[in-house]
Structure 1
Amino acid sequence: MQTCDTQTTRIAPRTGVAFTLPKGAALTVIDPEGTQVSDLLAFAADDVREVISNGRTFDYEETIALTTGNRLWSNRSRVLLTIEEDTVGRHDFLLTPCSKDTFRHFYPDKPVHRGCFGNLAEALASWGITEDQIPVAFNCFMNVPVHGDGSIEVLPPPSRPGDRIVLRAQEDLVIGLTACSAYASNGGAFKPIDYRIDQGGEVPS
């Protein structure tokens, strides 16, 4: 478990962390070197059975192209996070965190890694969150185009060094955050992710 302040914290390549984010605080997720993905999970701090939901978010926001001004909703139809700033404009909320099974399926010639799923499970265990409670993550900077025939592919992220996304907490939250471990997600180069928490600010009514 990590504690955070307004200083920037680095997540080492292919690892993950978890921390609390109080209502009203802003979380800035930064790609310090470019072309990296960060899987983000958010749980309600007072009941971790409430968690971000891609289905609710797509439904209520009426888009899968989430960016500045969009909100991330929970499985109980409450807004957990609002995107206040986004210098990339492309993120994924379709694909599940990479796991050992992901590596066996897509990279049979590569060493098996526990992936973002395993990293999130370990980091979130302190809050009593089990593997079965880990949903589809909001994958910051991940580039997953959807083609006209319905097919999808994973391309390298368009993020450049220093690009960021800023999300404001609408409730007290537990956050899980990673520096992605999968080859396709980050162009095959495993890099760190930085984040910062700013405690100030008011939650819009």
Structure 2
Amino acid sequence: MSDVERIPPRSGTAFKVPAGATLTVIDPEGCQVADLLAFSSEDVNEVISSGRTLDYAETIALTTGHVLYSNRSRPMLTIIDDTVGCHDFLLTPCSVDTFLHFYPDKPVHRGCFGNLAEALEPYGVAPDRIPVAFNCFMNVPVDAQTGKLSVLPPVSKPGDRISFQAEMDLVIGLTACSAYASNGGSFRPIDYQIEFLGSDDIPIGAPSNA
């Protein structure tokens, strides 16, 4: 098992996770979103897919037991533990354009998109290859009558977590989200930990903080 790593507020990182390992994303202080991306280590053109996942799950309420699929319909991550049960797989990572659109009176930030683009560049992932992220702890209710989306503060409490089992060798991108509405107007860190198959297993690649 690796040490718990911390992603500072409004930043991101990328690292490799081997098949069979467990990745746990932790909200240490509560009310903080983490954007998660996954790419196949063998071919980064194979990437986590919101469309495939929601199609096969037949729900947008993804939690323990659900599988996150790639654009090639292969399992990438299985949710094996979830203390929150409220996440989003509809909205794209926040970006400069997000801030210009939704927060014209606030300082512009490069957002999760910019953080992910920088962190994933060493792994051969170009910005145009960044898809919709699985937004851990993000609270996006959908109105049953109108279909309108709302972005409300996360319901996650300090220490809440979600754990995934890697179904293939993966490159993971992970952030502490930068958008005001997503995080209740303030910004906190995100922790993560990787549990390997056995004590003799060696991590594939070192974390690269951005």
Q: Give 2:167's match in structure 1, choosing from 164, 170, 175.
A: 170
Report what 1:29 is aligned to.
25
Equivalent residue in structure 2 for 1:120, among 116, 119, 126: 116
Q: Which AA in structure 2 matches 1:45?
A: S
What is the rounded CA distance, in whole Å, between the counterparts of 2:181 and 2:107 in structure 1?
A: 14
Identity over aligned residues, as a percent?
A: 71
TM-score by length of 1: 0.95
Q: Which letter maps to 1:131?
A: P
- Residue 186 (1) aligns with residue 183 (2): yes
Runs of 4+ in 1 over 4 A off after TM superposition: none
Structure 1 distance, partners of 2:126, 2:107, is: 25
Structure 2 residue aligned with 1:134? 130
CA–CA distance in structure 2, aligned partners of residues 79 and 128 of structure 1 = 21
Tell me, in whole angstroms, the C-alpha distance in 2 between the residues paired with 1:48 and 1:170.
15
Tell me which amino acid in the other structure corresponds to 2:153. P
TM-score (norm 2): 0.93
Q: Which amino acid is the alignment partner of residue 76 of structure 1?
A: R
SS at match of 1:194: strand
Q: Which residue of 1 aligns with 2:157?
A: 160
Q: How many residues align?
A: 197
- In structure 1, what is the Cα distance between the partners aligned to 2:121 and 2:127? 9
Aligned AA for 1:167? F
Q: Secondary structure at the match of 1:94?
A: coil
Aligned pairs (5 A) from 1:8-27: 8-27=4-23
Confirm whether residue 199 of structure 1 aligns to residue 175 of structure 2: no
- SS at structure 2 position matched to 1:29: strand
Q: Partner of 2:202 in structure 1?
A: none
1:175, distance to aligned residue in structure 2 (A)? 0.0
- How far does the alpha carbon of each residue in 1:117-147 deviate from its partner, in whole angstroms, 9 at most, with x for none? 0000000000110110000000000000000
Question: In 2, Cα distance between the equivalents of 1:200 and 1:185?
Answer: 34
Gaps of 5+ in 1: none
1:93 equivalenced with 2:95 (yes/no)? no
What SS does the corresponding residue of 2:112 show, helix, strand or coil?
Answer: helix
Aligned mates of 1:192, 1:89 — CA distance in 2:
20
Distance 2:14 2:133 in 1: 13
Structure 1 residues 95-118: Cα deviation after superposition (integer angstroms, max 9, x where no partner): 000000000000000000000000
Q: Confirm or deny that 1:51 pairs with 2:64.
A: no
Q: Distance in 1 between matches of 2:143 and 2:194?
A: 36
